[in-house]
Amino acid sequence: MFSKLSKGRGAGVFTSTPPRYTLDRSDSPLRPSQLPLLVNPWDIVLCSSGTLIACENALVVLVIWQNPTLRAPMFRLIGSLALADLLTGLGLVLHFTCAYLLRSDSAQLLTVGLVVASFSASVFSLLAITVDRYLSLYYALTYNSERTAAFTYTMLVLLWGLSLCLGLLPVTGVNCLAEEVTCSVVRPLTKNNIAVLSVSFLLLFGLMLQLYVQICKIVMRHAHQIALQHHFLAATPHYVTTRKGVSTLAIILGTFAACWMPFTVYSLIADYTYPPLYTYATLVPATYNSVINPVIYAFRNQEIQKALWLVCCGCVPTSVAHRARTPSDV
């Protein structure tokens, strides 16, 4: 939200105090053309991103919810990710609406808490999907068992419970509304609060990186064993698709890091005195991760593709129905 407009600081809904819609231009040292806009363009970008995120992930949630064949642990985790990103989009839209219409500290705390909880659930769901992929390869023979389903439910309960606790912190008093000097780059989160979130993200990213390295090793080892059994050469299609699968894993991890790492590092070294422009420039790419997630984890999945085609046109193209699963689908 805007700071005092008479100071001419171009803040927005995540970076300062509520916007004021009446300007005392006589007291302002700036010319009318230099006065800040009543609606920060960066907030419009965030609200637009939230709308896209909500619509995109609502489609994934709807497809998984309505299709009884999508009940395997993997699809429940993808559904958890889509639900978290859906709430992220709604949180961004609600925060924009409350900041510019209600201008209430209570509403701000609730919407920021929703955004924190949903972003946390999204990142935790990505970790859970990575763990699930690793287990599906490491324990390939026993993966489809009741124990796997129970473990999946346990992960879902833990990740949503922890995310809810993180989202409730600003609402239950861990905020900087009473003491501005404790604010982080994202108001009303305190510097300590966002530091905990950022360090947690770095730890989760390191764990995901380690798991994906192990997944790559398993995929390459399986490919080598198959090659020896069938006397394949390195240039055969199987090796091509295996390399494609490893490239896909690199893209997944690289996209995740590119979206979140700038904001994570910036929030650790900056505080509320830094220009809001830097906060928006690093926060907006983080929201794009919720835009990309359905493309990587849902729309590329063959079963979800079939369900989407059935919902959209009532049929499934032959190319989709008979496409074989390859290592690039890891």
Is 148 or 295 the better-scoring residue by pLDDT? 295
Check whether 105 has a pLDDT greater than 90: no
Residue 271 covered by a domain: yes
Tell me: pLDDT of 291 over 80: yes
Q: How far apart are CA 63 and CA 79, in angstroms?
A: 9
304 domain-assigned: yes
pLDDT at 8: 37
In the predicted model, is pLDDT for residue 310 greater than 60?
Answer: yes
Average pLDDT, the chain: 81
DSSP secondary-structure letter at 36? Answer: P
pLDDT recorded at residue 13: 63
Given this model, what pLDDT does residue 32 score?
41
Task: Identify the band that residue 1 occupies on the pLDDT scale cut at 50, 70 and 90.
Answer: very low
CA-derived radius of gyration, the chain: 23
What pLDDT score does 241 carry? 52
Question: What is the extent of the structural domain holding 45?
Answer: 41-312
User: Is residue 16 assigned to a domain?
Assistant: no
The confidence score (pLDDT) of residue 264 equals 94
- Helices 105-138, 146-171: crossing angle, 10 deg rounding: 160
Q: Which of 130, 298, 281, 296 is nearest to 213 (CA)?
A: 130
Query: Is the model's pLDDT at 106 over the cut of 70?
Result: yes
Average pLDDT over residues 12-17: 61
Q: Is a pLDDT exceeding 80 seen at residue 19? A: no
Kindly report, residue by residue over 197-249, the tens digit of the pLDDT. 999 999 999 999 999 889 888 877 877 677 676 655 444 454 555 566 667 77
Q: How many domains does the chain have?
A: 1
Question: At residue 10, does pLDDT exceed 90?
Answer: no
Buried b (16+ CB within 10 A) or exposed e, 172-206: eebbbbeeeebbbbbbbbbbebbeebbebbeebbe
Tell me how far the alpha carbon of residue 136 is from its chain's centroid: 23
Question: What pLDDT was estimated at residue 325?
Answer: 52
Q: What is the pLDDT of residues 153-203, one digit of tens each?
A: 999 999 999 999 999 999 988 898 888 888 999 988 999 999 999 999 999
Give the torsion through C-alpha atoms of 45, 199, 98, 12, to 10 deg.
-50
Residues contacting residue 171 through CB under 8 Å, at least 6 positions apart: 109, 110, 113
Evaluate if residue 40 carries a pLDDT over 50.
Answer: yes
> Residue 174 falls within a domain, yes or no?
yes
Three-state DSSP string of 135-194: HHHHCCCCCCCHHHHHHHHHHHHHHHHHHHHHHHHHHCCCCCCCCHHHECCCCCCEHHHH
CATH of the domain at 229: 1.20.1070.10
Residue 3 or residue 93, greater confidence = 93
- Look at residues 139, 183, 138 and name the one whose alpha carbon lies nearest to residue 14: 183
Report yes or no on 34 lying in a domain.
Answer: no
pTM (global) more than 0.85 = no
Q: Write the DSSP string, 40-94.
A: -HHHHHHHHHHHHHHHHHHHHHHHHHH-TT--SHHHHHHHHHHHHHHHHHHHHHH
In a domain, 212, yes or no: yes
329 occurs within a structural domain: no
State percent of the chain over pLDDT 90.
45
Q: Is residue 207 part of a domain?
A: yes
